[in-house]
Chain A
């Protein structure tokens, strides 16, 4: 038990350090720093990836409906937090918005999750009877249908049709994003470590055995699907805040694939893996590899070969291929990061070296 406590404490210290770093960046980094846009995106997609991991990695349900649930969350959040006096301006093509109040940020966030979860509940009933690839196709279809539906003219007074929604509450501070994402992920981790989490893993490992052990498959799959979608909805709302504008065209299938890629790179079934992968993925695609897209000239004036628009994606794709080839389990596999174990490992190497040193002295 003490061993376990030490692990928890060490990991909490790590989380504390990360939060402190974020607050420091928030306070002292120049407002033009890339850290802001990158970290906002990382927080958003870390949550999206973790919620997808809950479904795909921990319950073994291969679902690709993430973009759809994020869209529902993003729209709900955006529609509810536009200031009342701005509404007629945003919805000018449809006369006025049907909603005439503004909700506080936290309430709108939770509602964004609830709307996504409600739709997940509705489609979960028929869709979760399907297995593996079929489930993926059905949920993918759902995401596309939702994207089509919100653009309909007749929903205009609510969703603003195909026009983007903007002017809603969108905090700039990274701390807000980190807090939303952090609390959500913390709740998911608590759940995975509870008796329900074990039941989810049992379903992933062997459905037939899980059912024979008294786990109601339909109920638990539905539960996992609804909870995953709830947090997906919140991630969608965070994405809306990030972009300061919501439009259905940004919630494409390719976004779902991006999240899936983050999950795979991080390790299917590892929460810390998903977070690390989200950071690496978005930091490199949005920032570290950005220079590859710029035409660069050497001091002598000749153009550096290959660098130019589009080259970033080539390098990026090759990197992903390398990761998938050499880390077949992703960065973390199904393990979780543990500071304590890391320290112990380093210590054991160190101690062994010293022991060797001692021997050579004699």
Chain B
């Protein structure tokens, strides 16, 4: 049995009275590409944010490489309001911040591209190397970390060559065409040396040709960096092409899980996407 990299247990995210994600459980094994899909407003991005430490989930736990990274239970006002399940299962309140999670080896990209606007392509990736530093502010300022700095630069150059962005390395990041900006964002995430990569709608706003290139690219980086990947996506072509397994959620609840062929044939999934016909 392969080892699971990310395990989400009974994750519930409730805003006031609205349960955005209800009792979601997922397992992602080493080397897999898993997609989380669902119609608009199903709670995909909320789930994503709760896993990556941006939101504090209301209830549930998340494990990364068998280390507990997030656990929470309804507290304060939520105690009365809580409408989800498994209210008494968790006792601890532990939420690691996004930067701690990235240090552990979880890197993410954003739905609406968030590059460092004023920096060059090279500096964007170089900045992501900052978290693996061993220098402190004094040694860095007075250039006593020359070796480390040179290694950072060399690694960045190699990475940029790998993802074929080396020829634009001195351009300002936001001046790149859209497809390349996406690629750069993924490259920047790769620079943090992750074992799990979380992609939030990587193909949003891309044309079919760009989407196809992206599919190849994701396959390529998985092999090259031996990554495990979780992605949220709307483009069904991309999802069906690259996913090993798919989780489908609707109204915050999981409605199906399986390999692409199973999902394509699943009636509940089709209903969720196209609506239930009233004649039946």
CB-CB under 8 A from B108, the residues of chain A are: 212
The segment from A62-70, A87-95, A198-206, A250-258 that touches chain B is: A198-206
Q: Do A202 and B141 touch across chains, with their CB atoms under 8 A apart?
A: no
- Contacts A195-B133, A199-B127; A214 near B102 (Cβ below 8 A): yes
A205 to B113, CA, bound (A): 12
Name the B residues within 8 Å of A209 (CB-CB).
110, 114-116
CB-defined contacts of A269 to chain B, threshold 8 Å:
118
CA distance A198 to B125 in the complex (A): 10
Among the listed B54, B129, B189, B192, which residue makes an inter-chain contact with A195, where contact means beta carbons less than 8 Å apart? Answer: B129
* Chain A residue contacts of B142, Cβ below 8 A: 190
* A223 interfacial contact with B, CB 8 Å: yes
* Chain A residue contacts of B115, Cβ below 8 A: 205-206, 209
Asked if B117 and A206 sit within 8 Å, CB to CB, the answer is yes
Task: Out of B103, B110, B126, name the residue touching A198 (CB < 8 Å).
Answer: B126
A118 interface residue per 8 A CB criterion: no
Residue of A nearest to B188 (CB): A213
Total A residues in contact with B, Cβ cutoff 8 Å = 27
A99 at the interface (CB under 8 A from B): no
Tell me, yes or no, whether A133 is within 8 Å of chain B by CB. no
B114 with A214: CB separation less than 8 A: no
> Contact at A213–B130, with CB atoms within 8 Å?
yes
Provide the residues of chain B in CB contact with A293, threshold 8 Å.
none
**How many inter-chain contacts with C-beta < 8 Å in the A-B complex?**
101
Q: Are A215 and B119 within 8 A (Cβ)?
A: no
Measured in the bound complex, the distance between the Cα atoms of B128 and A198 in whole Å is 9
> B141, A194: Cβ atoms under 8 Å?
yes
A212, A223, A269 — most chain B CB neighbours (10 Å): A212
Give chain B's interface residue range (CB within 8 Å of chain A). Answer: 35 or more
Indicate whether A214 sits within 8 Å of B137 (C-beta atoms), given known contacts A195-B149, A205-B119, A208-B114. no
Distance between A111 CB and nearest chain B CB, rounded to angstroms: 18
Q: Would you call A140 an interface residue if the criterion is a C-beta within 8 Å of the partner chain's C-beta atoms?
A: no
Asked if residues B99 and A217 are in contact (CB atoms below 8 Å), the reply is yes
**Interface: B196 (CB within 8 A):** no
Q: Which of B52, B118, B130, B145 contacts A334 (CB 8 A)?
A: B118
Residue from A191, A205, A208, A213 within 8 A of B128 (CB atoms): A213
Contacts of A187 in B (CB 8 A): 141
B131, CB-defined interface residue at 8 Å: yes
Taking a contact as CB atoms closer than 8 A, the residue among B97, B116, B140, B188 that contacts A194 in the complex is: B140
The answer on a CB contact under 8 Å between A205 and B118 is yes
- Greatest chain A CB density within 10 A among B107, B123, B127 is at B127
CB of B110 within 8 A of CB of A215, answer no
Q: Note all chain A residues with C-beta closer than 8 A to B145.
A: 195
- Residue A196, interface by CB 8 Å: yes
Answer whether residue B135 sits at the interface, using C-beta atoms and an 8 A cutoff: yes
B131 with A215: CB separation less than 8 A: yes
Q: Does A216 contact B (CB under 8 A)?
A: yes
8 A Cβ contacts from A201-258 to B: 201-202, 204-206, 208-217, 223, 227
- What is the chain A residue whose CB lies nearest that of B142? A190
For the complex, is B249 an interface residue (Cβ under 8 Å from A)?
no
Alpha-carbon separation in the docked complex, A214 to B103 (Å): 6
Please, how many angstroms separate the alpha-carbon atoms of A159 and B33 in the complex? 66
CA distance A187 to B130 in the complex (A): 20
* Chain B neighbourhood of A198, CB < 8 A: 119, 123, 126-127, 130
Partner of B192, one of A213, A223, A227: A213
B276 to chain A, nearest CB (A): 38
Chain B contacts for A211, CB-based, 8 A = 97-99
B275 to chain A, nearest CB (A): 35
Cβ A195 vs Cβ B135 within 8 A: yes
Q: Counting CB contacts under 8 A, is B143 at the interface?
A: yes
Instruction: Scan B118-161; emit 1 where CB is below 8 A from any A CB, else 0.
Output: 11000100111111010101001111010001001000000000
Chain A contacts for B128, CB-based, 8 A? 213-214
The interface residues of chain A lying within 8 Å CB-to-CB of B114 are 206, 208-209, 212
Closest to A199 in B: B130
A198-B129 Cα distance, complex, nearest whole Å: 10
Chain A CB within 10 Å — which of B97, B123, B130 has the most? B130
Q: Nearest B residue to A227 by beta-carbon distance?
A: B137
Determine the distance from Cα of A227 to Cα of B149 in the docked complex, in whole angstroms. Answer: 22
The distance from the CB of A4 to the nearest CB of chain B, in whole angstroms, is 12
State the Cβ distance, B121 to closest chain A Cβ, in Å: 13
A202: B residues at CB distance < 8 A: 116, 119, 127, 130
Q: Which residues on B sit within 8 Å (CB–CB) of A206?
A: 114-117
User: A208–B114 Cα gap in the complex (Å)?
Assistant: 8
Q: Chain A residues near B107 (CB, 8 Å)?
A: 212-213
Nearest chain B residue, comparing its CB with the CB of A223: B137
Beyond A198-B130, A214-B128: 13 further Cβ-contacts under 8 Å? A201-B116, A202-B116, A205-B115, A208-B54, A210-B116, A211-B97, A211-B99, A212-B99, A213-B128, A213-B189, A214-B131, A214-B192, A334-B118
**Can you list 28 residue pairs at the A/B interface with Cβ under 8 Å?**
A187-B141, A191-B140, A194-B141, A195-B126, A195-B129, A195-B149, A196-B137, A196-B140, A198-B119, A198-B123, A198-B130, A202-B127, A206-B114, A206-B117, A209-B115, A209-B116, A211-B98, A212-B52, A212-B110, A213-B130, A213-B131, A214-B99, A215-B99, A215-B127, A215-B131, A216-B99, A217-B99, A223-B137
> 6 nearest interchain CB pairs?
A214-B131, A214-B102, A209-B114, A205-B116, A194-B140, A191-B141
B-side interface residues toward A, CB under 8 Å?
52, 54, 97-100, 102-103, 107-108, 110, 114-119, 123, 126-131, 133, 135, 137, 140-143, 145, 149, 152, 188-189, 192
